[in-house]
Structure 1
Amino acid sequence: MSLQTWNNFAAIISNSAAGFISDRVGRKRNLLGAWVLCAAVIVICSIFAAPNQFLFCIGLMLLFGFSLNYAITSVNLLMPEQYPTAIRNTGVAWCHAFARFGGSASSIVLGGIAGMAAFQTVGGTTNWSLVVLVLIVPFVLGFICALLFVRDTNGKSMDQLANEATGDELSGTAPFAIMLAIVVILFSLCIVCPLAINGWSKPPIALPLMATGMLLPFAFFFIFGGKQLAKGAGRK
């Protein structure tokens, strides 16, 4: 209870800081810095995690809670400015929905990873330093996605952003259908199967399948976002 209380206190500070700093340096730059901060904190936690040093581990978890809440808030500040007015509510809602999928699936996937032989010590216990280090993957992917696909909205009003719309934003039934298929695959592999099938994470094929489900949204962003980048480069 004490740790949760202090985590909430750290979240208040990080959320307030994210809003203040993003107004000063720009929301895209702030988000990129947030992902870098999260990755750095993951490395620090991985190196210095020590189960026999309780108070030190609490300090590390508070540092991680601060950086994670800072990054989440930085995303929320930027999302509404990335979508045209006609689909702004839908776009933001879908982002939050995928965050819920990721939050539900990641704990299941990480639990399966912790039980893998590659993450065990010689004495047969879980090597939590390696398990924690796995968390750096989504933060690095988030940094790359933000760097490539997020437009800089610093100092621009919603009206200015609407006037800058080119009219060729990603749209159509095909991308939407693919996104729905990704939702079904992610939900089935990473949530339904682990909860419905006893011992689902033990077969060698299970974790690769769950990892694939977790990475499919990123693949979608890189493929369709890359096409948009190519179109933009062709117009210049």
Structure 2
Amino acid sequence: METILEAQGVSKRFGNGRGIGQISLTVNAGDIVGLFGQNGAGKTTMLKAVTGLCRPDEGTIRLFGFDLNTHFEQAMTRVGCVIEAADAYDYMTGKQNLRQAARYYPDVPASRIEEVLEMTGLAPYQNERAKHYSLGMKQRLALAAALLPEPRLVILDEPTNGLDIEGMVELRGTIARLAREEGIAFLISSHMLSHLEPIVTTVGILHRGDLIRFGRRFELVPPDVTLEDYYLEAIQSGKGEDVHERTAG
């Protein structure tokens, strides 16, 4: 199985003491990795480190075999991401927003815009202005923009925030289908485990900046235990097992 992302001993501390410490994880093609933790646990910091938006104090991050520090451009070529907010130009149509986003990537053909509109279920609404989109549609538009460069890894930060039930179901379905049919790997942060429980294949739990559990869901979580109950048990235990040896391999 193709290894997409390898992080080893990644640490980043800020002046207020928050951040992440000694995070190690692996993401393979087709994985849907849920990175769970309360607000301030370090989820967004880890995603920013993986995308080069902040530089770790220590540790290494390799994407597709390329070191992020020394070969940033090669490492990020096949990565799409939405960090912190699903922004769109309200006065533009969905299709116009994607044309604008395509300008940030080299050689994105017009046919690719049509493809991602179909992938995300937005084709029927492509000529509507984004100001008329629901929050769920805007999340799918952001996902469509992340898919423009034909990524092998898509990174999403709290993508279900504020979505209604229908929006969550549609977004989950899109992610699961892309992972299954296209082999795209997803690294998704959330503090709402139930939102992603139906689709995650790999579970990571961050607590106060430490990755206290990480591994294949079927290896970590008993079939009769919900992700929420497993998460609470992990947090209450204070520390997990030897997570550095249990990567998603």
TM-score by length of 2: 0.22
More helix as a share of residues: 1
Larger strand proportion, structure 1 or 2? Answer: 2
TM-score scaled by structure 1?
A: 0.23
The structure that has the greater radius of gyration is 1
